[in-house]
Amino acid sequence: MSNNDDSGLFDCRPILCVTNAARSIEYYVEVLGFRLGWAWSGDEQRFLKPGERIDITFALVGRGPVQLMLSQQSQGAPGMWLHLDAQTAEQLDALHATWSERGARIVEPPSVRPWGMYEMRVQDLDGHVLRVSSPPQ
């Protein structure tokens, strides 16, 4: 696909419905190595300052160019599947090793799939599946 598209669209940030935004942030940050971009408090009706953890109901987490929004008990349903790309099989193996060490829910370890891609599947706390793929070794 070409990046020279004049459709007006330029990015995509999936919104994942989560049971508890604070717990999900902890999983994505501490286990999967994402960074917290921002967090929103429904009670306070404002963006929270770094380190504040009051009633987080919506947040943005990211790792490199991948960004996900976490919405507490709204906007979507548990069990979404997301496809994430890694550049190389070595990078995918490194992610698998790190995530395994940190206690990630590895649903399927890396392997070459019948369609020729090297993939693993990881689940978050709400059953969302991250299908991480790279070219085969």
- E strands, 15-104, are 15-18, 35-41, 46-47, 56-63, 66-72, 81-85
Q: Does residue 63 form part of some domain?
A: yes
87 with 47, same domain? Answer: no
Residues 58 and 104 in one domain: no
Percent of the residues in the chain that have a pLDDT greater than 90, as a whole number: 86
Residue 58: its pLDDT value, please? 97
Q: Quote the CA–CA distance of 77 and 5 in Å, as a whole number.
A: 31
Q: Is 112 helix (H, G, I), strand (E, B) or coil?
A: strand
Q: Is the pLDDT of residue 88 over 80?
A: yes
Q: What predicted TM-score, i.e. pTM, was given to this entire model? A: 0.93
Q: d(Cα 124, Cα 87) in Å, to the nearest integer? A: 22
User: Which residues, other chains included, contact 52 with Cβ-Cβ below 8 Å and sequence gap of 6+?
Assistant: 39, 41
Give the chain's domain count.
2
Single out the residue in 72, 102, 119 at which a domain terminates.
72
Residues 127 and 91 placed together within one structural domain of the fold:
yes
Of residues 35 and 54, more confidence is placed in 35
Same domain, 86 and 130: yes
Q: Encode pLDDT of 16-52 as tens digits.
A: 999 999 999 999 999 999 999 999 999 999 999 998 8
CATH code, domain carrying 29: 3.30.720
Predicted confidence at residue 7, as pLDDT, reads 84
Task: For residue 92, tell me if it sits in a domain.
Answer: yes
Q: What is the pLDDT of residue 69?
A: 98
- pLDDT, mean of residues 89-117: 98
Predicted local distance difference test score (pLDDT) of residue 24: 97
Q: What is the domain extent for residue 128?
A: 81-134
The label of the residue with tokens 């306070």 reads 44
